[in-house]
Amino acid sequence: MSNKVPDPPKPENHERWIVSYADMLTLLFALFVVLYATADPNARKLESVRTSIDQAFNVGVKNGDKGASPVFSNGGGITPTISELKSRAMVDLSTKMNSFAASKGIDGKVQVKSDANSITITLADNLLFGSGSADLKPGSQEVLMQVAGALNALPNNIRIEGHTDNIPISNSQYSSNWELSAARAARVLRFLEEEGGLKPSKLSLAGYADTRPIADNATAEGRALNRRADIVIMYPSQEELQQILGAATPAGR
């Protein structure tokens, strides 16, 4: 019969909780970093945050269904997609402009539309300018101030475009529709900057003369639609966005 004394029981490890506690602190730290980063309404910064998190989870950038982020999918994540931000801006601008136009009895003369890269506010020619002139008509300032109020909250670059019909013009001020369309765009831009408070660094202009009609120049009604000023809110292309994010990524990452 063996007289071997059994080994004493091993003392219980009372420090196992440190592992779980450390994991919890790490997750909380990550959560607060994400919450802090996404508190910034700048769309490009939000996109950069989302890309960084996707990379951290080793799922790549925008490899989910229909190009959506695997971490922030279908708009259900912490930060919205660029397309969602644009949709919200479109709805907001349309609501504001349509409400203003209805209150002033100018329905149809202020239109908001969008394409893949931009949102455009179109102002009918007779709202802003007289025939053959780039001087703002009395009352047009109220329209432009309403537009400026809607644009001031947006971080996007904005291009002012001038358009004319195809009737040639030649007077002491403008030798062609090119000069007239550019002068009208410049006048709107100056008003939005000087009176509307938009940052000049966000603004640019273009004059297209009669090269981009939206109606038939064969009729008076069509020519009136073609004589217009467009205010284009630009959104970055996917290629531009990737370049921005690439430039913001530290070397060696």
- pTM score above 0.75: no
* 87 & 201 share domain: yes
Backbone φ and ψ of 129, nearest 5°: -130, 150
* 221 & 146 share domain: yes
Q: What is the pLDDT of residues 92-104, one digit of tens each?
A: 777 888 887 777 7
* 21 & 54 share domain: yes
Per the rule left: phi > 0, alpha: psi between -120 and 50, beta: everything else, 65 is beta
- In percent, how much of the chain has pLDDT > 90? 20
Q: In terms of pLDDT, which residue wins out, 175 or 42?
A: 175
Within-domain flag for 132: yes
Within-domain flag for 205: yes
Within-domain flag for 6: no
Within-domain flag for 137: yes
* 52 & 148 share domain: no
Tell me how far CA of residue 240 lies from CA of 117, 235, 243, in angstroms: 11, 10, 5
| Average pLDDT of the residues in 132-161 | 88
Can you say how many angstroms the Cα of residue 209 is from the centroid of all Cα atoms in its chain? 26
Within-domain flag for 4: no
Q: What is the CATH number of the domain that holds 98?
A: 3.30.1330.60
Q: Which of 33, 64, 79 is a domain's end point?
A: 79
DSSP assignment of 89-148: HHHHHHHHHHHHHHHHT-TTSEEEEE-SSEEEEEEEHHHHB-TT--SBPTTHHHHHHHHH
Q: How many domains does the chain have?
A: 2
Q: Which of 61, 79, 97 is a domain's end point?
A: 79
Q: Contact, 152 vs 96, CB < 8 A?
A: no
Within-domain flag for 249: no
* 90 & 161 share domain: yes
Question: The domain containing residue 33 runs over which residues?
Answer: 17-79
| Average pLDDT of the residues in 17-28 | 78
* 69 & 90 share domain: no
Long-range CB pairs of 178-186 (<8 Å, 24+ gap) are 178/207, 178/209, 179/207, 180/132, 180/134, 180/207, 180/209, 181/207, 181/208, 181/209, 182/206, 182/207, 183/134, 183/207, 184/128, 184/129, 184/134, 184/229, 185/160, 185/161, 185/229, 186/134, 186/160, 186/162
* 54 & 102 share domain: no
Instruction: Please say if the pLDDT value at position 72 is more than 50.
Output: no
Within-domain flag for 251: no
* 116 & 161 share domain: yes
> What is the C-alpha separation between 46 and 52, in angstroms, rounded?
10
